[in-house]
């Protein structure tokens, strides 16, 4: 099957030998790490609470000869695993947090395992497991060939809002790193120079004075009024921000009863833009909307900083490495049963799917703007980073959906995970074999950075919001 697949792909000058060896090592561990991904899928855990998932990955890496440091950067589920010495130092990042409310069986119809419980709607069970699988194969290859260099796996908790990677940056864990190779589950096998959206957000809390809403409204000051004036001002603001801006919010508390003037109201708001620095300016205007709400309603407003992720700086050199790697890695084909599952799932999407199938590998130099946000973006501002997606989800299925959660528990998810592990392993080996590529990646990083510096509104006090997902 492999040979036939390779013929479908664009032909590249692929020296056989070394590449085949590391791919054989990936294949040797594929079943075990596929089972690891399934185990994590079966026990979905929210950000900073990924105790079982992190422990399982730590145990697997330790058993395969990695030196593991658990609980890094004041995060119980953050860890590093390392093998080798000297440069190049290559980091593979592993996420493993789930999303609230997305509990889902591995079936092509919406059916929760436990209603309201978390689920792996972003496929992070595959993300962390594929990176670990690649790490083990790379370690064995370095060892067998006596190559110089260090392979590390960073277990990065709470990508869905907690920003584990940002605390790892603050803790200095990326300081001696030459390159980060990252991936994310998706609905196609694709490498390009895509970015992500910067985001910034938090909770806006208004404090007023409670009073009987009919008998003594004049003595009350409504926190909900303050909040609604703020949000109306935000709606007007929408017209006067750059086109690519996204602003979304929910009201988490609007008072307790209509006959009581609300003494407390709260909204959770997130804004996004392709450029962190432009976003900072927009966010200051949102802060002014909130201040205006408090002033007009005679209430007091407090802001609690929430998620703040930078956009991703693409890296031309590393993306080229990953592009070559993915072309060698190849895509995969569905079995008849998988094809049937995919068809049923696509029928639930309510739109015709015009996407390439998982047998295709797409490598190009386009720079599509981001549609989501990730703390991998912050990492790209401090060290050369490139990333790619693989077809872990059926074409047309987007992340953060029950359809994605279903795919992440099936053989389709695990086949996509294998494409990722193969790509990561081949990409890393190319850099160990040609250490000059690490220097070229550093130069490409400097060019994109263009003298700017990474900044974050998340304080460098080393105190991750360990309860953010459950409060």
| Nearer to Zn ion among residue 94 and residue 331 (C-beta) | 94
Q: Does 420 bind Zn ion (CB under 5 A)?
A: no
- Residues in region 301-340 near Zn ion by CB under 5 A: none
| Nearer to Zn ion among residue 386 and residue 444 (C-beta) | 386
In 213-360, DSSP assigns E strands to 246-253, 264-273, 300-309
Q: How far is the CB of 184 from Zn ion (least distance, A)?
A: 6
Q: Does 408 bind Zn ion (CB under 5 A)?
A: no
Q: How far is the CB of 57 from Zn ion (least distance, A)?
A: 16
Report the side by side order of strands in the sheet with 300-309.
246-253, 264-273, 198-207, 300-309
The answer to whether the CB of 253 falls within 8 A of the CB of 266 is yes
Of 77-85, 118-126, 277-285, 456-464, the window that binds Zn ion (rule: CB under 5 A) is 118-126
Q: How far is the CB of 66 from Zn ion (least distance, A)?
A: 24
| Nearer to Zn ion among residue 66 and residue 154 (C-beta) | 154
Of 61-69, 114-122, 163-171, 427-435, the window that binds Zn ion (rule: CB under 5 A) is 114-122
Residue 233 token pair: 């001002």
The answer to whether the CB of 158 falls within 8 A of the CB of 97 is yes
Residue 369 token pair: 């703007």
Q: How far is the CB of 97 from Zn ion (least distance, A)?
A: 8
| Nearer to Zn ion among residue 205 and residue 272 (C-beta) | 272
Of 17-25, 115-123, 175-183, 253-261, the window that binds Zn ion (rule: CB under 5 A) is 115-123
How many residues interact with Zn ion (rule CB under 5 A)?
A: 1
Q: Does 441 bind Zn ion (CB under 5 A)?
A: no
Q: Does 397 bind Zn ion (CB under 5 A)?
A: no
Q: How far is the CB of 159 from Zn ion (least distance, A)?
A: 6
The answer to whether the CB of 213 falls within 8 A of the CB of 258 is yes
Of 117-125, 195-203, 236-244, 245-253, the window that binds Zn ion (rule: CB under 5 A) is 117-125
Q: How far is the CB of 94 from Zn ion (least distance, A)?
A: 12
| Nearer to Zn ion among residue 290 and residue 405 (C-beta) | 405
- Non-local (6+) Cβ contacts of 99 within 8 A are 44, 46, 118, 119, 120, 121, 122, 160, 400, 405
Q: How far is the CB of 349 from Zn ion (least distance, A)?
A: 19
Q: How many CB atoms lie within 10 A of CB 355?
A: 14
| Nearer to Zn ion among residue 60 and residue 97 (C-beta) | 97
Distance CA 334, CA 340 (A): 9
* Main-chain dihedrals φ then ψ at residue 105, nearest 5 degrees: -80, 165
Q: Does 431 bind Zn ion (CB under 5 A)?
A: no
Q: How far is the CB of 99 from Zn ion (least distance, A)?
A: 9
Q: How far, CA to CA in Å, does 360 sit from each of 142, 216, 261, 327?
A: 30, 68, 59, 9
| Nearer to Zn ion among residue 260 and residue 372 (C-beta) | 372
Residues 113/119/124/129 CA torsion (nearest 10 deg) = -30
Of 122-130, 246-254, 267-275, 423-431, the window that binds Zn ion (rule: CB under 5 A) is 122-130
Buried b (16+ CB within 10 A) or exposed e, 312-351: bbbbbbbbbbbbbbbbbbbbbebeeebeebbeebbeeeee
Choose which of 19, 75, 122, 383 interacts with Zn ion (CB under 5 A): 122
- Residues in region 36-95 near Zn ion by CB under 5 A: none
Q: How far is the CB of 127 from Zn ion (least distance, A)?
A: 7
**Within 13 Å, how many C-alpha atoms sit on residue 148's CB side?**
5
| Nearer to Zn ion among residue 122 and residue 428 (C-beta) | 122
Q: Does 197 bind Zn ion (CB under 5 A)?
A: no
Residue 383 token pair: 């060290």
Distance CA 305, CA 260 (A): 29
Question: Shortest Cβ contact with Zn ion: which residue?
Answer: 122
Distance CA 403, CA 106 (A): 9
Q: How far is the CB of 400 from Zn ion (least distance, A)?
A: 8
Residue 265 β-bridge partners: 206
Q: How far is the CB of 329 from Zn ion (least distance, A)?
A: 21
Of 29-37, 39-47, 119-127, 446-454, the window that binds Zn ion (rule: CB under 5 A) is 119-127
* Interacting residues toward Zn ion by CB under 5 A: 122
């Amino acid at each position: 099957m492999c040979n036939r697949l390779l013929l479908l792909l664009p032909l590249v000058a692929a020296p056989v030998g070394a590449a085949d060896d590391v791919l054989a090592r990936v294949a040797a561990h594929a079943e075990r790490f596929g089972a690891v991904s399934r185990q994590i899928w079966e026990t979905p855990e929210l950000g900073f609470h990924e105790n079982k998932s992190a422990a399982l990955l730590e145990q697997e890496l330790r058993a395969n000869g990695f030196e593991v440091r658990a609980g890094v950067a004041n995060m119980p589920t953050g860890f590093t695993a390392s093998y080798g010495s000297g440069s190049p130092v290559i980091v593979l990042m592993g996420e493993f947090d789930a999303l609230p409310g997305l509990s889902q069986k591995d079936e092509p119809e919406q059916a929760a395992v436990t209603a309201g419980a978390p689920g792996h709607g972003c496929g992070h069970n595959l993300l962390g497991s594929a990176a670990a699988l690649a790490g083990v194969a790379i370690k064995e290859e370095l060892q067998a060939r006596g190559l110089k260099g260090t392979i590390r796996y960073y277990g990065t908790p709470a990508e869905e809002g907690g920003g584990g990677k940002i605390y790892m940056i603050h803790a200095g864990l990326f300081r001696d790193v030459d390159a980060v190779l990252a991936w994310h589950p998706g609905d196609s096998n694709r490498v390009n120079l895509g970015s992500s959206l910067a985001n910034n957000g938090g909770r806006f809390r208004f404090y007023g004075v409670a009073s009987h809403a009919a008998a003594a409204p004049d003595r009350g000051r409504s926190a909900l009024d303050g909040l609604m004036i703020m949000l109306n001002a935000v709606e007007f603001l929408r017209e006067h921000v750059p086109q690519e801006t996204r602003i979304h919010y929910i009201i988490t508390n609007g008072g307790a009863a209509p006959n009581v003037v609300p003494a407390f109201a709260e909204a959770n708001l997130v804004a996004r833009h392709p450029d962190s620095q432009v976003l900072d300016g927009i966010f200051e205007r949102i802060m002014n909307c909130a201040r205006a709400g408090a002033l007009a309603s005679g209430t007091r407003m407090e802001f609690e900083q929430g998620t703040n992720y930078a956009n991703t700086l693409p890296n031309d050199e590393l993306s080229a490495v990953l592009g070559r790697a993915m072309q060698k890695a190849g895509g995969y084909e569905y079995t008849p049963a998988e094809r049937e599952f995919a068809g049923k799932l696509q029928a639930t999407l309510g739109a015709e799917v015009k996407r390439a199938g998982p047998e295709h590998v797409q490598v190009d130099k386009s720079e599509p703007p981001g549609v989501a946000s990730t703390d991998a973006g912050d990492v790209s501002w401090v060290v050369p980073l490139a990333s790619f997606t693989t077809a872990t989800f059926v074409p047309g299925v987007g992340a953060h959906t029950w359809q994605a959660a279903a795919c992440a528990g099936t053989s389709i998810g695990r086949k996509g995970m294998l494409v990722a592990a193969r790509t990561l392993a081949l990409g890393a080996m190319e850099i160990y074999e040609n250490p000059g590529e690490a220097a070229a990646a550093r130069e490409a990083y400097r060019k994109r950075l263009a003298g700017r510096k990474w900044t974050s509104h998340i304080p460098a006090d080393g105190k991750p919001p360990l309860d953010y997902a459950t409060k």
